[in-house]
């Protein structure tokens, strides 16, 4: 084959004559081609190959019960070909990538290859979060046009290749060039027809307080669907999964990661068919979703970030971390060290006044904490969770000097001031709801189901968005706020908008999400110096969509050090440590009742973005000294903890221990963290093999005052002291000897 259209340095190689498209990054090749007179086939995705010469072409055979698009060729069926963006209703019986309902009610479509375009850089996805470039040269985009002659509708498949980041993204745009409106019922962002079915599926399921638990198992014939139908990316399943070869570990195996840059309902699916090929899809949720595309208009999907690793899960995660840290997270906090915070939620819940806050702030400042966050309960008449969401003005009973007065007193102690808000919600008992009962999602005549006593504002409504933007702007302009925790504490029910006509009701949930993104874009642009942390009852919306607007997220409401081993491990599969909030809280722990040592709680919180969520006015002298030691240590290690390259060493899913190592870019420094859950009597000795070091260099383990070779530490391992009690942990710094 001759790939002539683009030079060999290009990330996108095209063979014009054979119509083959070869996308290339250092680790991976992704190849498509036009087969049998117009169908776009998927040919390969995997380890990078220098040249595509079709050593394994698509093979055809006459297969029973798989109809033919050309009656003279019984060997070709869409049902048996590996397709790039398969359609419904004309011989492919597998899960279609898209589903349109035409004006006549039929859903059959026939999209054939029409053309392609290669461009330097990438197109911005207006109104949608996406991986961006800082310079055009960082990315190349291949757009392939598929066309339905009868309906005059085009599908544009966008492939953005980021060679330096070893990743590619995919999204789809449907454009109505005809003269009849139609309805999109499904439009997946990425579809990959793998030519084998010998995979395991790894996904992150969970619940409130138990987010992103790793689950892995063989896929079976038939479909496996992973989805959220909640109007949020959800605690229950994160919008990420990977197909892995059965031998996959942290350091070996074929891994294909799919991560969806979206915060609302989503759907992922893997279907293994009769010939054991597997079709993988990821995109917008399909239940109660549709979108009308009128003549001359278009619809754009969010994007999926696809990462391949031939060397296991570790490299996949580090690729996502670097890409998300550098080309998803934006603004003045991108790459910048995050402050150590104290949050008053678990210290006081709703029961506080200015004096109490100032007492907490005094102790916090003394202990080396840098930011004070005032959580829920500072506004309206909010003494519990039954009231006042929407009434964004300070409760002067609790804060007699207003928010401004309290904030100024706190900042005068040398702390920054941060504030909690939940701008997408309204309490039934609120002034806002009493004056605008129609501003929440609801179906006339039906019950408005409450969850945590609250309703969801209709962010598809511009009046709602403008009202919220005004209120937030006032609050943030009036007080010296340098951090905002943007919370969201329920999922959608009665997802219906009063602004939409009957046939567009199913657009409500996606319009809501677009509205949220618009408000977030406005507020974060208006207040560029504020550090925003997204939250949804902990990690109910921990997704790349949110990270585009808010560089960190509250990982989980569960602050227990043991639970956190699993949560950190699972979350770190995709999301960078810089994005994860992690707090030391009081014992017995408020979520699980467990008592763990303060040192271990400190270590597990330092694993990500360190914060405290307890009442420091109750500290003993010893506790106060320990917390001061922790904040001092964290400040020293912070660049590594937040932005170092992460190597997972011991999985809490496999045994009692959790161990990770971070290195800086030139591997001259590293930090090793080890946490052991339950101790055992007369237990075997423990040795952990490190990873990510320079094998040719020597390293001093500073805390042990011992020196070892990098090779020795990685191939032989590092001894862990005898574990003599539950929940012991160690945090050791390593320095390369020069
Ligand atoms: C849920 C959050 O996850 C908590 O941290 C806290 O902010 C509460 N909401 C406040 O209502």
Phi first, then psi, for residue 732 (nearest 5°) are -125, 140
For residue 374, the CA-to-ligand 1 centroid distance in Å is 11
The rounded percent of the chain whose pLDDT value lies above 90 is 98
Q: What angle do CA 364, 368, 370 make, to 5 degrees?
A: 75
pTM for the predicted model, two decimal places: 0.98
Convert the pLDDT of each residue in 423-445 to its tens digit. Answer: 999 999 999 999 999 999 999 99
Say if CB 382 and CB 376 are below 8 A apart.
yes
As given in the structure block, the two tokens for residue 97 are 């990538």
Phi first, then psi, for residue 303 (nearest 5°) are -110, 155
Atom of ligand 1 nearest to the CA of 554: 3
Average pLDDT over residues 40-68: 95
Q: Is the CB of 538 under 6 A from ligand 1?
A: yes
For residue 661, the CA-to-ligand 1 centroid distance in Å is 30
The rounded percent of the chain whose pLDDT value lies above 70 is 99
Counted residue by residue, the chain has a size of 738
pLDDT at 644: 98
- Count other Cβ atoms within 10 Å, centred on residue 457: 26
Instruction: Spell out a b/e string for 655-682, using b for 16 or more CB atoms within 10 Å of the CB, else e.
Output: ebbbbbbbbeeebebbbbbbbbbeeeee
71 SS3 class: coil
Taking the CA atoms of 205, 641, 357 and 348 in sequence, report the sign of the dihedral they define.
Answer: positive
Phi first, then psi, for residue 243 (nearest 5°) are -95, 130
Is residue 7 very low, low, confident or very high in pLDDT (cuts 50, 70, 90)?
low
CA dist., res. 345 & res. 350, Å (int): 8
Cα dist from 77 to 20, 64, 69, 419, 531, whole Å? 20, 10, 6, 59, 54
Residue 724 burial (CB < 10 Å; 0-12/13-18/19+)? exposed
Q: Is the CB of 489 under 6 A from ligand 1?
A: yes
pLDDT at 8: 57
Atom of ligand 1 nearest to the CA of 537: 3
Q: Is the CB of 486 under 6 A from ligand 1?
A: no
Token pair 């619940």 is at which residue?
Answer: 207
Atom of ligand 1 nearest to the CA of 538: 3
Q: Is the CB of 557 under 6 A from ligand 1?
A: yes
pLDDT at 197: 81
Say if CB 578 and CB 552 are below 8 A apart.
yes
Convert the pLDDT of each residue in 241-290 to its tens digit. Answer: 999 999 999 999 999 999 999 999 999 999 999 999 999 999 999 999 99
Q: Which residues are catalytic?
A: 487, 557
The yes-or-no verdict on residue 1 having pLDDT over 70 is no
Say if CB 93 and CB 108 are below 8 A apart.
no
CA dist., res. 738 & res. 735, Å (int): 9
Ligand 1 pocket: which of 378, 380, 489 to mutate (most atoms within 8 A of CB): 489
Q: Which protein residue's CA is at the shortest distance from atom 4 of ligand 1?
A: 537
pLDDT at 235: 98
Q: Is the CB of 376 under 6 A from ligand 1?
A: yes
Average pLDDT over residues 294-307: 98
3-state DSSP percent of the chain in helix, strand and coil, to 5:
20, 30, 45
pLDDT at 331: 97
Q: Is the CB of 420 under 6 A from ligand 1?
A: yes
Q: Is the CB of 268 under 6 A from ligand 1?
A: no
Which string of DSSP letters, residue by residue, matches 577-598?
A: GGGEEEEEE-SS-TTT-----H
Ligand 1 pocket: which of 342, 375, 534, 583 to mutate (most atoms within 8 A of CB): 375
Q: How far apart are the first and last CA of the chain?
A: 50
Cα dist from 273 to 35, 95, 132, 270, 276, whole Å? 21, 10, 36, 10, 5
Ligand 1 pocket: which of 537, 552, 613 to mutate (most atoms within 8 A of CB): 537
Enclosing H/E stretch for 178: none
464 SS3 class: helix
Average pLDDT over residues 498-522: 98
The yes-or-no verdict on residue 5 having pLDDT over 80 is no
Q: Is the CB of 375 under 6 A from ligand 1?
A: yes
Cα dist from 617 to 367, 623, 624, 631, whole Å? 11, 11, 9, 17
Q: What angle do CA 529, 580, 365 make, to 5 degrees?
A: 60
As given in the structure block, the two tokens for residue 557 are 């409401």
Q: Is the CB of 537 under 6 A from ligand 1?
A: yes
For residue 14, the CA-to-ligand 1 centroid distance in Å is 51
- Count other Cβ atoms within 10 Å, centred on residue 314: 22
Q: Which protein residue's CA is at the shortest distance from atom 11 of ligand 1?
A: 376
Convert the pLDDT of each residue in 604-632 to its tens digit. Answer: 999 999 999 999 999 999 999 999 999 99
Say if CB 192 and CB 279 are below 8 A apart.
yes
For residue 282, the CA-to-ligand 1 centroid distance in Å is 30
Starting at the edge strand found earlier in the chain, the sheet holding 39-47 runs: 12-15, 20-24, 28-35, 39-47
- Count other Cβ atoms within 10 Å, centred on residue 259: 29
For residue 627, the CA-to-ligand 1 centroid distance in Å is 23
Convert the pLDDT of each residue in 670-717 to its tens digit. Answer: 999 999 999 999 999 999 999 999 999 999 999 999 999 999 999 999
Show the DSSP H helices in 370-413 as ranges: 402-411
Averaged pLDDT score across all residues of the chain: 97
Is residue 37 very low, low, confident or very high in pLDDT (cuts 50, 70, 90)?
confident
For residue 302, the CA-to-ligand 1 centroid distance in Å is 28
Q: Is the CB of 345 under 6 A from ligand 1?
A: yes
For residue 265, the CA-to-ligand 1 centroid distance in Å is 22
């Amino acid at each position: 084959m001759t790939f002539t259209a683009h030079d060999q340095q290009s990330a996108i190689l095209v063979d014009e004559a054979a119509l083959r498209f070869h996308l290339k990054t250092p680790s991976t090749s992704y190849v498509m081609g036009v087969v049998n007179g117009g169908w776009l086939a998927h040919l390969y995705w995997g380890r990078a190959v220098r040249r595509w010469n079709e050593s394994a072409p698509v093979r055809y055979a006459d297969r029973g019960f798989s109809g033919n698009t050309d009656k003279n060729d019984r060997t070709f069926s869409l049902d048996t070909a590996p397709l790039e963006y398969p359609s419904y209703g004309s011989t492919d019986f597998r899960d279609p990538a898209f589903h349109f309902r035409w004006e006549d009610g039929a859903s059959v479509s026939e999209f054939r290859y029409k053309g392609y375009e290669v461009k330097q850089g990438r197109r911005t996805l207006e109104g949608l979060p996406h991986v961006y470039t800082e310079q055009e040269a960082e990315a190349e985009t291949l757009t392939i046009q598929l066309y339905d002659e009868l309906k005059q509708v085009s599908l544009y498949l966008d492939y953005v290749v980021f060679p330096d980041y070893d990743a590619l993204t995919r999204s789809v745009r449907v454009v109505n060039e005809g003269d009849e409106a139609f309805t999109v019922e499904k439009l997946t962002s990425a579809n990959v027809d793998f030519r084998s079915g010998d995979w395991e599926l790894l996904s992150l399921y969970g619940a409130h307080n138990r987010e992103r638990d790793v689950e892995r198992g063989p896929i079976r014939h038939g479909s496996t669907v992973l989805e959220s139908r909640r109007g949020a990316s959800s605690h229950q399943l994160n919008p990420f999964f990977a197909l892995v070869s059965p031998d996959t570990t942290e350091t070996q195996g074929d891994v294909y990661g799919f991560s969806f840059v979206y915060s609302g309902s989503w759907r992922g699916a893997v279907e293994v068919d009769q010939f054991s090929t597997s079709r993988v899809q990821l995109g917008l949720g399909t239940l109660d979703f549709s979108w009308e595309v009128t003549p001359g208009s278009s619809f754009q999907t969010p994007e999926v970030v696809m990462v391949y690793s031939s060397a296991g899960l570790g490299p996949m995660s580090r690729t996502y971390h670097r890409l998300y840290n550098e080309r998803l997270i934006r603004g003045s906090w991108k790459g910048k060290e995050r402050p150590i915070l104290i949050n008053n939620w678990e210290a006081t819940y709703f029961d506080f006044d200015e004096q109490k806050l100032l007492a907490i702030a005094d102790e916090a400042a003394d202990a080396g904490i840098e930011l004070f966050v005032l959580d829920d309960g500072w506004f309206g008449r909010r003494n519990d969770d039954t009231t006042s969401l929407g009434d964004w003005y300070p409760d002067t009973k609790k804060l007699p000097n207003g928010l401004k007065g309290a904030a100024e007193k706190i900042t005068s102690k040398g702390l920054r001031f941060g504030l909690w808000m939940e701008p997408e919600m309204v309490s039934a008992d609120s002034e806002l709801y009493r004056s605008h009962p129609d501003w929440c999602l609801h179906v006339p005549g039906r019950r408005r189901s409450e969850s945590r006593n609250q309703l969801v504002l209709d962010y598809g409504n511009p009046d709602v968005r403008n009202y919220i933007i005004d209120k937030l702007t006032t609050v943030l302009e009036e007080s010296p706020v340098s951090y905002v925790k943007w919370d969201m504490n329920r999922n959608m029910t009665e997802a219906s908008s009063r602004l939409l006509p009957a046939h567009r009701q199913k657009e409500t949930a996606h319009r809501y999400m677009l509205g949220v993104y618009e408000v977030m874009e406005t507020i974060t642009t208006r207040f560029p110096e504020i550090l925003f942390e997204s939250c949804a009852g902990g990690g109910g919306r921990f997704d790349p969509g949110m990270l585009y607007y808010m560089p960190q997220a509250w990982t989980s409401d569960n602050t227990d050090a043991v639970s956190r081993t699993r949560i950190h491990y699972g979350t770190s599969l995709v999301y960078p440590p810089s994005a994860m909030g992690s707090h030391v809280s009081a014992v017995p722990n408020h979520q699980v009742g467990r008592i763990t040592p303060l040192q271990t709680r400190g270590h597990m919180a330092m694993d990500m973005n360190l914060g405290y969520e307890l009442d420091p006015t109750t500290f003993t002298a010893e506790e106060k000294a320990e917390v001061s030691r922790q904040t001092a240590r964290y400040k020293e290690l912070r660049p590594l903890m937040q932005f170092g390259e992460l190597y997972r060493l011991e999985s809490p899913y496999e045994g009692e221990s959790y161990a990770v190592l971070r290195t800086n870019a030139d591997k001259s420094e590293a930090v090793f963290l080890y946490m052991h859950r339950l101790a055992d009597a007369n237990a075997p000795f423990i040795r952990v093999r490190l990873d990510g070091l320079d094998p040719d260099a020597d390293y001093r383990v500073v805390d042990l005052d011992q020196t070892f070779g990098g090779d020795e530490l990685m191939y032989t391992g590092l001894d862990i002291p005898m574990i003599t009690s539950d929940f012991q942990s160690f945090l050791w710094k390593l320095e390369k000897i020069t």
